A and B are shown apart, each in its own frame.
Chain A
Amino acid sequence: MYLEYRVDGGDFQASGQAAAGIKRTLRQIGIDAEVARRAAIVTYEAEMNIAIHAYLGTISIEILPERIIIQADDEGPGIADIPAAMQVGYSTATEDIREMGFGAGLGLPNMRRYSDEFEIESQVGVGTSVRAVIILPAKEGN
């Protein structure tokens, strides 16, 4: 199964809807609650990063029998120093953004923590791509 959502930069009203839609779908098709929770958190953080830091992007999720692949691609300013951005607490979010409850500098660390495989690529002035994989628990009897 493959789902794709468009995410607009600066849209804090609609943002979170891709993650919410994906979480509901995962639960509907009977994915384990803990896995759905992890996938939802990874997707939500990826979605908010596009809304906050980029101009336009897509979030997709591919559900395979043994794994879930979450892919977020955006057109945006990109990240010059990825190791710095991956640090807990590192954030370039403005004061306005912080007042809305974002900008803890935990988004990328959360994404890495809740996924089994995590990759990030970015080109300054072009955009950022994040790919996270969550391995599904083996079904009994398989």
Chain B
Amino acid sequence: MQLREIVRILDAEVLTGKDKLDMHVEAGCGCDLISDLLAFTKEKMLILTGLISPQIIRAAEMADSAAIVFVRGKRPTRDIIDMGEELGLPILCTSYPLYECAGLLFTAGLPGWRHWPRIVNGVQNVP
């Protein structure tokens, strides 16, 4: 799904990465803990989070995430936006809560991790 489509569905504000709306996103994941992001996402995934922290951007950089969505109307601080800008990582902001974001995107065809079977390092996503 194109990032542009995600912005439309979530009625999101684009804080960084306005030039990347054509980007293709493979799947999505909701994570409020940093290690969850690192454990349960693959590259090019959309990260939905309520955790406002520079460390979520750092983790997204490590995991090659596609973009970050801050949910429930939470606004990231300037240092977080600056990090996203520097990394070329799109950051979106929406007033929808996490559960509704996930439901809207899933219904529109953006899969989650378990619905995107791949084997990495001998570990298959689907249990």
Contact = CB atoms under 8 A, between A and B. Distances in A.
- Give the dominant DSSP class at B's interface: helix
B56 A101 contact: yes
Q: In terms of DSSP, what is the predominant structure of the interface of chain A?
A: helix
Interface residues of B, number: 22
Contacts of B39: 104, 106, 109-110, 113
A15 B63 CA distance: 16
Given A101-B56, A110-B39, A113-B123, A48 B34 contact: yes
B62 interface: yes
Contact of B43 (A15, A37, A98, A116): A37
Interface stretch (A16-24, A55-63, A76-84): A16-24
B55 A12 contact: yes
Given A37-B43, A37-B63, A16 B55 contact: yes
Nearest to A134: B121
A32 B56 CA distance: 23
B22 interface: no
Instruction: Report the interface size class on chain A.
Output: 20 to 34
B51 interface: yes
Given A100-B55, A101-B53, A101-B55, A110 B61 contact: no
A113 B63 CA distance: 14
A33 interface: yes
B18 interface: no
Given A16-B55, A101-B55, A103-B33, A45 B61 contact: no
Given A33-B43, A37-B43, A37-B62, 14 more contacts: A12-B55, A13-B54, A15-B55, A16-B58, A37-B63, A37-B64, A40-B63, A44-B62, A100-B53, A101-B32, A101-B51, A101-B55, A101-B56, A104-B34
Interface of B: 32-36, 38-39, 43, 51, 53-56, 58-59, 61-64, 120-121, 123
